[in-house]
Chain A
Amino acid sequence: MLEIRWHSRAGQGAVTGAKGLADVVSTTGKHVQAFAFYGSAKRGAAMTAYNRVDDKVILNHEKFMSPDYVLVIDPALVYIADITANEKEDTTYIITTHLSTEELIASQPKLAGKKVYTVDCIKISQETIGKAIPNTPMLGALMKVSGMYDMVFFKENMARVLKKLPQKIIDANMIAIQRAYDEVK
């Protein structure tokens, strides 16, 4: 079982990202789950979303999770949300920030000694899609760090998931995904 927790602000697309990832993974014959914690959802409120992936049917519906990957798509959540909650020894963190990995760890010491990768999904999405929607670039970074799927396959399927959007926006998302894949460190 592979488990992923997203930290996001409502409106940044973590739910769409989690569901999009589930959709792509499902095409490979694996079983998937994508869900989120909602309160009285307000744009900008800190929230979490989740993915489970397994070779067999996923029966577990508990919200509790010890994630293999933690994806943080808003830079400030590193300091105000409990992003290391229920972590495992080898939990991998991919964090959106304009800082380098070293600078980030210096600013948030509880990440010291952990597997931390950084990428600026906010900047990438602003420069490609035209607004701060960091969800799809984060998936590009996840593909690089996890080696889950090759980029041709992944982008092909993400384009299908996004097919209701205008072609221009789909193309911009594909560039954002590729840039995050190339730039994550």
Chain B
Amino acid sequence: MAESMELRDIEVWDGNMAASQALRQCQVDVVAAYPITPSTPIVENYGNFTANGYIDGEFVMVESEHAAMSGCIGASAAGGRVATATSSQGFALMLETLYSASGMRLPIVLNVVNRAIGAPLNVNGDHSDMYMGRDSGWIQLDCYNAQHVYDMNFIAFKVAEDHDVRLPAMVHQDGFMTSHTAQGVKTLSDEVAYKFVGDFQPMNDMLDLDHPVTHGVQTEEDWHFEHKARQHHALMTAVLPKIQNAFDEFEKLTGRKYNLVEAYNMEDAEVAVVCMGTSVETAQEVSDELREQGIKAGVVGIRVFRPWPMEQLAMVLKNVKAIGALDRSSPHGTFGALYNEIAGTLINSGNKVVLTNYIYGLGGRDLTKAHLVGIYNDLKANAEAGKPTTPLQQYIGLRGPKLSFF
């Protein structure tokens, strides 16, 4: 029986330790892992917990990220609670198996510490890997600080393993900016944390020998479409209500309130930025400062990237006059993903808002408060003109001459 760990009410943890501790408290049956910067400490800490008797489950060290997710798929199909962690190139190597996990409806939890994808090689944080996963059929929860990482891991297990959902979930945090930044994290006792997530309830588990099942079958044109439609149907209809329920229950337990879309200073906002990760909080501080100068600035953080919370987002943006969509990933030949998603969300909403796109922070480039003030000034001009006063896509924080497109 695993040892219980005494935690202080507030521990000073970085995002990686917050993830490791949450995994420990959820009593995961199998973690199959291969380390990669900046997510390495998640499995390193977890290995430490295992060696010191705090883990009952199996910790399997494998030879690659492809093998890590493959091991997780096998263990999950066998019928256990399963999790791992990765970043960047490791995530890319896992990609093929990510589609297997979601297609086989296996509720694996993957902590993704977001990092740039080379070339050029870069270990720092941007959202390239998160964006790469967005069509893979996983639930994607996004965190803005270490506290969120701790809390979203519990939410992820609870929602993913629900028998009405049965889909894998990623918990995203910004490489280094969250993963290696220590902040105060309010903890739950081992008992309370485990009780919130509950015992793993198997479904179609391969180790249930009295009820033989087949996983990972081949379906050609006769059934493939129906399988994929069911998977999409579950993502589109079951997941958001279950996440909302889990958020409500979590708030009752901890007092910490999460929303599918995090609206800040949005009640009367005329201009707003929409972004993800640590940028959300920096923008919140900037919007407070701009409000003191009379600029009605708001911030919208995407908490659930997949499934896309269209209705909730349209609701918080319904009275805004100008929006900046901030994408921390190179769009390579089109608009950033957030720009496209927001445009798709608003085109039929009746709100004639001016929408522009900002590409920022690639490879860990700093997003400063001064950058955000500049963006809000653009948006204010757009709101007053009722049309774009800048190119539709601008690069922020880039050295050299200004770069823009469209």
Q: Give Cα A36 to B145, complex, Å.
A: 15
Contact B184 A61 (CB under 8 A): no
Contact B184 A31 (CB under 8 A): yes
Partner of B180, one of A23, A38, A64: A38
A61 in contact with B176 given A19-B182, A34-B181 (CB within 8 Å): no
Closest to A40 in B: B123
Partner of A63, one of B279, B285, B366: B366
Contact B123 A59 (CB under 8 A): no
Q: Please tell me if A173 contacts chain B, counting CB pairs below 8 Å.
A: no
Closest to B147 in A: A57
Residue-by-residue, is B279-323 near A (CB-CB < 8 Å gives 1, otherwise 0)? 101101100000000000000000000000000000000000000
Contact B368 A64 (CB under 8 A): yes
Q: Give Cα A23 to B183, complex, Å.
A: 9
Q: Give Cα A64 to B177, complex, Å.
A: 12
Contact A59 B176 (CB under 8 A): no
Partner of B12, one of A23, A40, A63, A64: A23
Number of interface residues of A (CB under 8 A): 21
Q: Please tell me if B387 contacts chain A, counting CB pairs below 8 Å.
A: no
Contact A61 B177 (CB under 8 A): yes
A22 contacts which chain B residues (CB < 8 A)? 12, 182-183
Distance in Å: Cβ of A120 to nearest Cβ of chain B: 28
B180 contacts which chain A residues (CB < 8 A)? 35-36, 38
Contact A60 B281 (CB under 8 A): yes
A62 contacts which chain B residues (CB < 8 A)? 282, 366-369
Q: Give Cα A40 to B364, complex, Å.
A: 13
Q: Classify the interface of chain B: helix, strand, loop or mixed.
A: mixed
Contact A34 B284 (CB under 8 A): no
Distance in Å: Cβ of A11 to nearest Cβ of chain B: 16
Distance in Å: Cβ of A153 to nearest Cβ of chain B: 16
Q: Give Cα A148 to B5, complex, Å.
A: 31
Complex interface residues of chain A between 21 and 44 (CB less than 8 A to chain B): 22-23, 26, 31-36, 38-40
Q: Please tell me if B10 contacts chain A, counting CB pairs below 8 Å.
A: yes
Distance in Å: Cβ of A127 to nearest Cβ of chain B: 29
B124 contacts which chain A residues (CB < 8 A)? 38
Contact A35 B184 (CB under 8 A): no
Q: Give Cα A26 to B11, complex, Å.
A: 8
Distance in Å: Cβ of B215 to nearest Cβ of chain A: 40
Q: Please tell me if B187 contacts chain A, counting CB pairs below 8 Å.
A: no
Q: Give Cα A61 to B366, complex, Å.
A: 9
Q: Please tell me if B278 contacts chain A, counting CB pairs below 8 Å.
A: yes
Q: Please tell me if A76 contacts chain B, counting CB pairs below 8 Å.
A: no
Q: Please tell me if A58 contacts chain B, counting CB pairs below 8 Å.
A: yes
Contact B182 A32 (CB under 8 A): yes
Contact A61 B181 (CB under 8 A): yes
Contact A61 B123 (CB under 8 A): no
Q: Give Cα A40 to B183, complex, Å.
A: 24
A33 in contact with B181 given A38-B123, A60-B369 (CB within 8 Å): yes
Closest to B176 in A: A38
B184 contacts which chain A residues (CB < 8 A)? 26, 31-32
A23 contacts which chain B residues (CB < 8 A)? 12, 182
Of A19, A23, A59, the most chain B CB neighbours within 10 A belong to: A59
B10 contacts which chain A residues (CB < 8 A)? 26
Contact A35 B176 (CB under 8 A): yes
Known: A31-B184, A33-B182, A36-B180. 13 other contacts (CB 8 A): A18-B182, A19-B14, A26-B12, A26-B184, A34-B182, A38-B180, A59-B284, A59-B285, A61-B145, A61-B174, A61-B278, A62-B282, A63-B368
Give A contacts to B, CB under 8 Å. Answer: 18-19, 22-23, 26, 31-36, 38-40, 58-64
Give B contacts to A, CB under 8 Å. Answer: 10, 12, 14, 123-124, 145, 174, 176-177, 180-184, 278-279, 281-282, 284-285, 366-370
The 5 A-B residue pairs with the shortest CB-CB distance, nearest first, are A61-B278, A35-B181, A59-B281, A34-B182, A59-B285
Chain A to chain B contacts (Cβ below 8 Å), 17 pairs? A19-B12, A32-B12, A34-B12, A35-B176, A35-B181, A35-B182, A36-B180, A39-B123, A40-B123, A59-B284, A60-B285, A62-B366, A62-B368, A62-B369, A63-B368, A64-B366, A64-B369
